[in-house]
Amino acid sequence: MFAKITIDNLNLYYGSFHALKNVSMLINTNQVTAIIGPSGCGKSTLLRCINRMNEVITNVDVEGSIEIDGEDILAKGVDLRELRRKVGMVFQRPNPFPLSIFDNVAYGPWVHRIRNLKELQRRVEESLQAVGLWDALKDRLDTSALKLSSEQQQRICIARLVAARSEILLMDEPCSALDPIATAKVEELIYELKKEYTIVIVTHNMQQAARISDESGFMLLGELVEFGHTDQLFTTPQDQRTEEYITGRYG
Amino acid sequence: MLFLATLVIFTPIATVLFVLIQRGLPEIRWEFLTQMPRMGMRQGGIFPAIVGTFYLVIGTVAIAMPVGIATAIYLSEYAKETRLKRLIEIAIVNLAGVPSVVYGLFGMGLFVLFLHFGSSILSGALTLAMMSLPVIITSSREALSSVPYSFREASLALGATRWQTVKHAVLPHALPGILTGTVLTIARAAGETAPILFTVAAFYLPKLPHSIFDQCMALPYHLYVITTQVPNVRISLQYGTALVLVGLVLGINLIAVLIRAHIRSQKKW
Ligand SMILES: Nc1ncnc2c1ncn2[C@@H]1O[C@H](COP(=O)(O)OP(=O)(O)OP(=O)(O)O)[C@@H](O)[C@H]1O
Ligand SMILES: [Mg+2]
């Protein structure tokens, strides 16, 4: 097992607000790493550091380092397009474009200059296969993605990343807009996907973290309080604050 | 109550239209629309004025639409929240409230005299475009901001550049709104007299313009001329001209309404 992502002493400031404090963690290839913690502790902020999407909204200051495959992605001159292709993101609310299913899935390769129709078709099929939608949708690829159920939309959003050949999937509460049955199906998909991808998932649902992740981190007020094997973290937490949180005694 | 309010708004418009049609319609004949004015504009048609206004509208669209949309995209999608941006936004809001005659005088000073474009279609269209810009920018920005932020986020997170994001994930969904706003603004500009008064409009010019550096007649100014500057013009001729002008403006507005109806029918989110 080797580390796909190495986060070392990461600090992040929104203006004068210190949102991430000395976060360090190793995220392994072909594993699901879960990040849990109460609302506002910085889970999304941490996730958005890995594809540098924080910089899109406001001016933020980041210190420390994040290496992916040994490459410092916070360095000046990093190709953000390539970084974000490689590090894909799934959002809390499914956000397909108001385009056809085909155009949604082909969007990633398309903006990365793959314009050959055959190649696009190949990728769309392969991506929809990967997220388990191909058989259901192959005959209506030209209908709007917005006509699909939330679960299917979220799968489309994952297929978009597969088609772009992402290697890392960042998922920010990907199931919070889904009902329990859909959630279970998406969890199954995540389990399947980890054979090919490195997955970092933020979730409010501790059962979910326990079910699907190999390693887990618990965050509180911008700090990564504890990080380790999921079984260990949930059965024998080392830090009292972790224990209080997972046993539901936290605030 | 609402019915009354509707009535208060509707009655004057309906009355104006009714009177215009009643008195002006008999005048609307093929020759009226396609012939030069004769006998000191007391006879003949209004063809050069129609053509002039047509050219001015085309010119205004050609200038104001790209500039306005580009400005809106820059301000909404690219510009950082700085003090300069705030200042520009305030300036745009205020420019929208400047009386059209001020634009006319400014256009004369800048385009006609300083830049030596003379009294010409170019000067007139530039002046009309300048007057339309603040409104086009504002309505275009509204259309852009009605596109959900999540589209931009999804696109950028897939590694698209900002321009690709604007082009593929934002603009297509804002375009109908942008077009509606632009067309409505242009319709207003088509009926304006003050901005063209000093910059392009000819009192009487019984030939068609040959280039953008020629003067031309224009419907609003022609109407003003035959109603106040030329004695003994047939009343029906005046009403006929007014009817053509109103018909033109309403026609352009209708285009906007159709575009809007079209968007509504395909509203996707
Ligand atoms: N763009 C921003 N500007 C300023 N402060 C921000 C910004 N985004 C987030 N914050 C603040 O940073 C802190 C962490 O936010 P973040 O969204 O990462 O929390 P989270 O753990 O994902 O919460 P949730 O579980 O509610 O999604 C919060 O206190 C939030 O108010
Ligand atoms: Mg969050």
| A96-136 pLDDT, tens digit each | 999 999 999 999 999 998 899 999 999 999 999 999 999 99
Could you give the C-alpha distances from A85 to A81, A117, A195, A220, in angstroms and in order?
6, 20, 19, 30
Residues of chain B in contact with residue A144, where contact means CB-CB under 8 angstroms, are 268
Could you give the C-alpha distances from A129 to A43, A124, A144, in angstroms and in order?
30, 8, 18
Strand, helix or coil for residue B206: coil
- How many percent of chain B have pLDDT more than 70? 99
Give pLDDT tens digits for B175-206.
888 999 999 999 999 999 999 999 998 888 87
In a domain, B26, yes or no: no
In a domain, B1, yes or no: no
Q: Specify the pairing of strand A223-229 against strand A3-14.
A: unpaired
Yes or no, beta carbons of A107 and B161 under 8 Å apart: no
- Enclosing domain of residue A71: 3-246
Yes or no, beta carbons of B158 and A93 under 8 Å apart: no
Atom number of ligand 1 nearest to Cα A202? 22
Mean per-residue pLDDT over chain A, rounded? 92
Nearest to A112 among B159, B169, B269 (CB): B159
In a domain, B15, yes or no: no
In a domain, A251, yes or no: no
Straight-line distance from the first to the last Cα atom of chain B, in angstroms, rounded to the nearest whole number = 34
CATH number at residue A172: 3.40.50.300
Yes or no: say if B57 and B184 are a contact pair by the CB < 8 Å rule.
no
DSSP per residue over A50-100, as a string?
Answer: HTT-HHHHS-EEEEEEEEETTEETTSTT--HHHHHHHEEEE-SS----SSB
Task: Identify the residue with better confidence: B223 or A250.
Answer: B223
pLDDT score of A250: 59
Is the CB of residue A16 below 6 angstroms from any atom belonging to ligand 1? no
- Using N-to-C axis directions, what is the helix angle for B47-73 and B171-190, rounded to 10°? 140
Q: Which of A26, A19, A47 is nearest to A200 (CA)?
A: A47
Q: Which helix (H) or strand (E) segment is A13 a member of?
A: strand A3-14
Mean per-residue pLDDT over chain B, rounded? 91
Q: How far apart are CA B84 and CA B81, in angstroms?
A: 8
Which residue is it, tokens 């490459």?
A71
In a domain, A57, yes or no: yes
Yes or no, beta carbons of A95 and B153 under 8 Å apart: yes
Number of folded domains in chain B? 1
Query: Least CA distance to B160: which residue of chain A?
Result: A111
Q: What is the 3-state secondary structure (H, E, C) of A174-237?
A: CCCCCCHHHHHHHHHHHHHHCCCCEEEEECCCHHHHHHHCCEEEEEECCEEEEEEEHHHHHHCC
pLDDT score of A103: 94
Nearest to A108 among B148, B158, B269 (CB): B158
In a domain, A82, yes or no: yes
In a domain, B240, yes or no: yes
Yes or no, beta carbons of A53 and B157 under 8 Å apart: yes
Residues of chain B in contact with residue A110, where contact means CB-CB under 8 angstroms, are 168
Cα distance from B252 to chain A (closest Cα, Å)? 29
pLDDT score of A233: 93
Residues of B with CB under 8 A from a CB of A: 80, 148, 150-151, 153-161, 164, 168-169, 173, 268-269
pLDDT score of B269: 59
Burial of A171 (0-12, 13-18, 19+ CB in 10 A): buried
pLDDT score of B260: 81
Q: Ligand 1 pocket test: which of A10, A23, A43, A173 has the largest number of ligand atoms within 8 Å of its C-beta?
A: A43
Give pLDDT tens digits for B20-71.
998 888 888 888 888 888 888 888 889 999 999 999 999 999 999 999 999 9
In a domain, A119, yes or no: yes
For ligand 2, the distance from its centroid to the CA atom of residue A209, given in whole angstroms, is 15
Query: Least CA distance to A164: which residue of chain B?
Result: B158
For the segment B139-143, the average pLDDT, to the nearest whole number, is 95
Q: Which of B61, B101, B43, B46 is nearest to B245 (CA)?
A: B46
For ligand 2, the distance from its centroid to the CA atom of residue A174, given in whole angstroms, is 11
Structure tokens at B110: 């800048």
Residues of chain A in contact with residue B171, where contact means CB-CB under 8 angstroms, are none
Q: Which helix (H) or strand (E) segment is B186 a member of?
A: helix B171-190
- Enclosing domain of residue B206: 48-265
Name the residue at shortest CA distance from atom 1 of ligand 1: A58
Give pLDDT tens digits for B72-116.
999 999 998 889 999 999 999 999 999 999 999 999 999 999 999
CATH number at residue B69: 1.10.3720.10
For the segment B239-261, the average pLDDT, to the nearest whole number, is 90
Residues of chain A in contact with residue B151, where contact means CB-CB under 8 angstroms, are 95, 97-98
User: How much is the pTM?
Assistant: 0.86
For ligand 2, the distance from its centroid to the CA atom of residue A224, given in whole angstroms, is 15
Is the CB of residue A39 below 6 angstroms from any atom belonging to ligand 1? yes
pLDDT score of B37: 87
Atom number of ligand 1 nearest to Cα A38? 25
Interface test with A, best of B158, B163, B268, B269 (most A CBs within 10 A): B158
Between CA B116 and CA B54, with CA B96 as vertex, the angle to 5 degrees is 55
For ligand 1, the distance from its centroid to the CA atom of residue B8, given in whole angstroms, is 51
Interface test with B, best of A54, A105, A111 (most B CBs within 10 A): A111
Number of folded domains in chain A? 1
- Which residue ranges in chain A fall short of pLDDT 70? 1, 249-251
For the segment B207-229, the average pLDDT, to the nearest whole number, is 90
Yes or no, beta carbons of B158 and A161 under 8 Å apart: yes
Atom number of ligand 1 nearest to Cα A173? 27
